[in-house]
Chains A and B, each alone.
Chain A
């Protein structure tokens, strides 16, 4: 399988660029700083395990995490478009040491007591690096696709990839569930429920994804937090229109008391998967069952709607992915 995007370290890239053109209005010294930073970073990397540097042979499992932590440059191969991903999506929930190298930061997100050398075994050494190789490679393509469409401001398309990522992660759930359970008493029944056929409604699918998330975040403190959609549109009218549209197709029990009408929608952490699915169902279908749908007239403009949804939802995805990594890391013996 080949990749949709080529992924490289932003800082190292800047080193290999022979001449950095001076963008207008940028003072000269900032530029000098940039080169200096890049040089320092390069010498740091030399001292570190070189396997952490991104290359075409980096395993997808590692590369996805690296993308989520930021400071990467992506090239969309089919269109030869280059764009950057500078946001640390994990840092929106987890704190990390200040001023450490990005590889150190990434490892510290997995666990406090882990050395880079130890994590390197998990990421880069056979057999660990080969486990579920295909799965992670497919997932990487979904993630880079999301980022590509997001970078082009094609927010509606990007949202489709958020949904696809959620599905992929959740369907890897039986392994996670089995690894986490210390009580086999109900395992058969529980797993059977998840795989029960859909009876023509979305309860099965909703239930499946939601149980996956609830199992992953069982007794996790973040389960009590929220994912906040900030509706900072140009006008109060648009804000209330979008707010009403979203509220009109979802149930109030998805939301936390921190929700502020027309301004902020605070989705309960454990309900985010339901939110993603319901929005997808209400927008990408026009059911004729009498369910309320997101009518075009209600949402002003599709990209406008999704522009406020994608980033916070993707931060949530990032935290879920980190949790999956932590589980599989636990198998490292």
Chain B
């Protein structure tokens, strides 16, 4: 059982945040399995620090807080009441996410092999219940920023799969692992979608740069996410996925979105242009991307910058969608030329 001491509203991520406790026994039975929900299991760190913690747990230390998160559309029903929240958490424990403490739970699991471990020891918990997934990810990145083993990019890759239920869509999404077994024709790559998600979160189409060392790139990405004022954005990534799913019903639009650089530009563009696009008709969108492709040929980018320019232009194309409808191909080439100068 999880019990809750107290809960408060978090105005930044519009969530309910509380603290409480459970026991090692409950944690091993109910919370530890959530670690394994991550298909891309984070590598176990076998550092001195964790083996020290393992010994300390057996001798009866109190483990530092674990942070658990849940998504609930309407959090006002919880009213910040401890017992209501505890009830919600206990009922929905299987759909929780571990935001912070995967390594500690792994250590607890290792320690559980030792008969000296006291299963009734308290395990302290932080609980976050958030109305949407983007907020959760934002908090996760602010929590874990600075932790070496898991970069922001890595977290987003893992969480894309965890947070969004691709079963509900008519489009197919395949993980790298599934692809290696059997490639499904016409399926989106999960990795491509998570790149789109990263672009959505950073509000920037250029998040990859293999010339810059990882450490610096990660600092830059976290900075972008923190500066992107997620709380003021009126569209969630779930809605973006819904739109992609709807547009993909047309085969040629799907082919266009399956080009990852187009998808990246689309995801960032839609962040500020969602209202204008959400009801766009398939044949209108299809004609527009045909125009886009004809104009793109006319821009004649150098091979080196091809991907970069495609991202820039697809972003521009989405954020000027209604103006571009009026343009012919030549007019669009001119616009593109100005943007890429």
Contact = CB atoms under 8 A, between A and B. Distances in A.
B212 A94 contact: yes
B219 interface: yes
Query: Which of B206, B220, B224 has the most chain A CB atoms closer than 10 A to its own CB?
Result: B220
Given A113-B304, A182-B341, A224-B224, A94 B219 contact: no
Given A113-B304, A182-B341, A221-B206, A93 B220 contact: no
Contacts of A182: 341
B209 interface: yes
A55 interface: no
Interface string A297-310: 00000000000000
Nearest to B211: A94
Contacts of A93: 212-213, 216
A221 B224 contact: no
Interface in B187-221: 206, 209-214, 216-217, 219-220
A226 B219 CA distance: 9
Interface string A203-231: 00000000000000000011011100000
A267 B304 CA distance: 32
B341 A222 contact: no
A257 B211 CA distance: 24
A257 B146 CA distance: 12
B211 A112 contact: yes
A92 B213 contact: yes
B223 interface: yes
A94 B217 CA distance: 10
Interface residues of B, number: 16
Contacts of A222: 212, 216
A259 to B, nearest CB: 12
Interface string A89-114: 00111110000000000000000110
Contacts of B211: 94-95, 112
Query: Interface size for chain A: under 10, 10 to 19, 20 to 34, or 35 or more residues?
Result: 10 to 19
By secondary structure, the A interface counts as loop
Interface in A181-208: 182-183
A95 B212 contact: yes
Contacts of A224: 220, 223-224
A214 to B, nearest CB: 17
A221 B220 contact: yes
A224 B222 CA distance: 10
Interface string A112-124: 1100000000000
A95 B216 CA distance: 10
A154 B162 CA distance: 55
Given A94-B211, A95-B210, A113-B304, A225 B341 contact: no
A149 B219 CA distance: 32
A322 to B, nearest CB: 11
B146 to A, nearest CB: 8
Nearest to A92: B213
A183 B338 CA distance: 11
Given A182-B341, A225-B220, 16 more contacts: A93-B213, A94-B212, A94-B213, A95-B212, A95-B213, A95-B214, A112-B211, A113-B304, A221-B212, A221-B217, A221-B220, A224-B220, A225-B212, A225-B216, A257-B223, A258-B219
Interface of A: 91-95, 112-113, 182-183, 221-222, 224-226, 256-258
Interface of B: 206, 209-214, 216-217, 219-220, 223-224, 226, 304, 341
Ranked 3 nearest A-B pairs via Cβ: A224-B220, A182-B341, A225-B216
10 contacts: A93-B212, A93-B216, A94-B211, A95-B210, A221-B217, A221-B220, A224-B220, A225-B216, A226-B219, A256-B223
